[in-house]
């Protein structure tokens, strides 16, 4: 079976296609959402999801989150000191991971839960990415899947997956749709059109550094403004994580009320803050302004007006915010589609895409087209005076939002007498200067010597739906052809490199399924103890000791009963913190 995975900034989900349609596969805790958080303890035990999120509040220097924003980059995340044994010798060192490796832990966690739930091995997945992810980020996502033991032949854009999940392809008439995707860390807007059995993406735009986390930070800023005696710069990471966590809870409570309250225990003193919905919306105007820009750009690229849009689809957990829904309704003068949980739409759509890849007879045949999210081009020299050329300029070959697969050709001429070589720098981006765009690679071409302008090459870019770019260079004078498929070396690993990396992190083990619920409750209890004062602390401590005594007894039946009671106790207490 091929599964669909939504590898999110804040939360991740895995889904499969069943005779009753697409279904989210619950994780080992019975929840659909798995927080995209990874933590490592001093024994080299990896925690993923809820347990890692709790550890991040208690031990922030051992955990990482929001790493999706750094996919395809060289950034390293340090997760504290890790102990292990090699060749019988104990060692201790500070360990660090890339965003790709952290994502692979989340994917492996999801894979294990799916295998347990379905009772079969999972070896292949369709993984979704933001529509605005560039080549590096898409290939980094595929590499994360490979490190997790998954074959990833298909990467699907999140808005396309969401459109499929909403059943847009089952509409009876030709329609235009706008998918508004605001997740925890990224924002995408895509315009799609349905005609016959073809769902075609016309334009995409977005911001890889705008999401729900930014709306939470607005509340954090307001909290510090209200509590002026707190010096943000002097607080440690643990306290800052606590404040951010409470601000996020405050934000979610505001979805249903005109105000919400926030409480933080800092150095045994309770600091309070009341968030007013109208004031919060006013303070978010800069972020809402940033949302408008990709909407304008996508409409312009698609060549349509707001009034041409037949349906608005909301995707991503952050679209649950009342201020976001009001904002969208004002812009498009219509209510958005709300029939599917926005947290789950992308994963469900990825599962449908996986079923299509399997040729599942229960899935209606649909042709999905996508677009090239960034312009692809090369570096050229431009004439600034009669015999003077300036290098470093960008020549677009396949423009952004071109429907793919696509092939385009550009003829380029020599600029110097007796020039014998041309370097075709393959670039991705929108800047008119080559140096500001992403270099995917270079193709060196030897050409016959001749006067400037007499020798030329035809450069053909061919870009397919699997994000593979083939560059062909044809020397006009002799017809000689050179070809190269570009795969960015920074984010692609050979099978041997993947195997070697597996061996390097072999001593790191994801926390066992059967201990996850118990460990999570103890972490929650420890966190709540630290946030409480006086008699509340004593009560939490007593309840934790009672639960630990049952765990030490090893009686599974008693553990199950005690876990249920302890979980209910923590839930009641957490509402007051």
The pLDDT tens digits for 229-277 are 999 989 998 899 999 999 999 998 887 778 999 999 898 899 999 999 9
Do 519 and 467 share a structural domain?
no
**In this structure, what are the phi and psi dihedrals at residue 422, rounded to the nearest 5 degrees?**
-125, 130
**138 part of a folded domain:** yes
What's the pTM value of the predicted model, to 2 decimals? 0.76
Do 129 and 18 share a structural domain?
yes
Do 523 and 477 share a structural domain?
no
> Domain with 466 in it: what CATH number?
2.60.34.10
Question: Is the confidence at residue 195, as pLDDT, over 60?
Answer: yes
∠ Cα 248 251 253 (to 5°): 110
**299 part of a folded domain:** no
**250 part of a folded domain:** no
Do 149 and 50 share a structural domain?
yes
490: annotated active-site residue: no
**218 part of a folded domain:** no
Do 31 and 135 share a structural domain?
yes
Share of the chain above pLDDT 90, in %: 49
Per this entry, what is the length of the chain?
577
The alpha helices in 434-512, defined as continuous H runs, are 495-504
181: annotated active-site residue: yes
Burial of 410 (0-12, 13-18, 19+ CB in 10 A): middle
**409 part of a folded domain:** yes
> How many domains, the chain?
3
**The domain containing residue 436 runs over which residues?**
376-486
The pLDDT tens digits for 519-548 are 889 888 888 887 777 788 889 988 988 998
For residues 432 and 393, is the Cβ–Cβ distance under 8 A? yes
Which one is catalytic: 50, 70, 158, 281?
A: 158
The pLDDT tens digits for 113-140 are 999 999 999 999 999 998 878 778 888 9
Element (H, E) at 144: helix 135-147
Do 143 and 36 share a structural domain?
yes
Do 519 and 440 share a structural domain?
no
**322 part of a folded domain:** no
172: annotated active-site residue: no
What is the pLDDT, as a whole number, of residue 500? 66
The pLDDT tens digits for 369-421 are 778 888 999 999 988 777 788 899 999 999 988 888 888 999 999 988 999 99
Which one is catalytic: 68, 139, 311, 524?
A: 68
90: annotated active-site residue: no
Q: Pick from 137, 157, 177: which residue ends a domain?
A: 157
**424 part of a folded domain:** yes
Helices 513-531 & 556-574 angle (0-180, nearest 10): 40
For residues 413 and 453, is the Cβ–Cβ distance under 8 A? yes
Which one is catalytic: 50, 70, 135, 181?
A: 181
The model's confidence at residue 141, banded by pLDDT at 50, 70 and 90, is very high
């Amino acid at each position: 079976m091929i599964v669909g995975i939504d590898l999110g900034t804040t939360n991740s989900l895995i889904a499969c296609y069943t005779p009753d349609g697409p279904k989210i596969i619950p994780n080992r805790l019975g929840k659909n959402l798995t927080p995209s958080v990874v933590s490592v303890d001093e024994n080299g035990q990896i925690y993923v999801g809820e347990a890692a999120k709790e550890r991040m509040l208690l031990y922030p220097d051992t955990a990482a989150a929001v790493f999706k924003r750094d996919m395809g980059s060289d950034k390293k995340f340090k997760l504290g000191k890790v102990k292990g044994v090699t060749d019988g010798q104990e060692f201790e060192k500070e360990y660090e991971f890339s965003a790709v490796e952290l994502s692979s832990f989340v994917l492996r966690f999801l894979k294990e839960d799916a295998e347990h739930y379905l009772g079969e091995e999972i070896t292949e997945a369709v993984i979704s990415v933001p529509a605005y992810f560039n080549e590096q980020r898409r290939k980094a996502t595929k590499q994360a899947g490979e490190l997790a033991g998954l074959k990833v032949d298909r990467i699907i854009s999140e808005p396309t997956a969401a459109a499929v999940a909403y059943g847009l392809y089952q509409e009876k008439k030709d329609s235009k749709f706008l998918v508004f995707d605001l997740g925890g860390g990224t924002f995408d807007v895509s315009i799609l059109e349905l005609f016959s059995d073809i769902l075609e993406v016309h334009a995409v735009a977005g911001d890889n550094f705008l999401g729900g986390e930014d709306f939470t930070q607005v509340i954090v800023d307001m909290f510090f403004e209200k509590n002026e005696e707190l010096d943000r710069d002097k607080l440690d990471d643990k306290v800052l994580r606590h404040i951010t966590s409470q601000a996020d809870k405050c934000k979610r409570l505001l979805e249903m009320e005109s105000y919400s309250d926030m409480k933080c225990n800092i150095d045994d003193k309770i600091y309070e803050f009341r968030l007013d919905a109208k004031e919060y919306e006013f303070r978010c105007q800069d972020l809402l302004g940033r949302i408008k820009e990709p909407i304008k750009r996508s409409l312009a690229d698609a060549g349509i007006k707001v009034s041409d849009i037949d349906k608005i689809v909301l995707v991503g957990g952050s679209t649950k915010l009342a201020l976001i829904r009001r904002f969208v309704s004002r812009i498009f003068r219509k209510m958005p589609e709300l029939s599917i949980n926005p947290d789950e739409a992308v994963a469900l759509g990825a599962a449908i895409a996986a079923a299509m890849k399997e040729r599942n007879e229960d899935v209606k045949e649909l042709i999905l087209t996508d677009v090239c999210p960034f312009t692809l081009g090369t570096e050229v020299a431009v004439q600034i005076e009669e015999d003077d050329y300036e290098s470093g300029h960008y020549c677009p070959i396949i423009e952004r939002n071109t429907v793919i697969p696509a092939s385009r050709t550009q003829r380029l001429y020599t600029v110097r007498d007796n020039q014998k070589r041309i370097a075709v720098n393959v670039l991705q981006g929108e800047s008119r200067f080559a140096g500001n765009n992403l270099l995917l690679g270079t193709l060196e071409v030897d050409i016959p010597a001749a006067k400037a302008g007499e020798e030329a090459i035809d450069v053909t870019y061919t870009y397919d739906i699997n994000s593979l770019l083939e560059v062909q260079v044809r020397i006009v004078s002799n017809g000689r052809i050179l070809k190269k498929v570009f795969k960015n070396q920074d984010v692609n690993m050979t099978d041997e490199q993947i195997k070697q990396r597996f061996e390097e992190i072999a001593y790191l083990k994801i926390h066992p399924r059967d201990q996850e619920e118990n460990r999570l409750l103890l972490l929650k209890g420890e966190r709540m103890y630290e946030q409480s004062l006086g008699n509340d602390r004593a009560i939490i401590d007593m309840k934790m000791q009672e639960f630990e005594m049952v765990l030490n007894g090893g009686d599974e039946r008693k553990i199950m009963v005690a876990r249920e009671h302890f979980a209910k106790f923590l839930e009641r207490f957490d509402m007051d913190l």
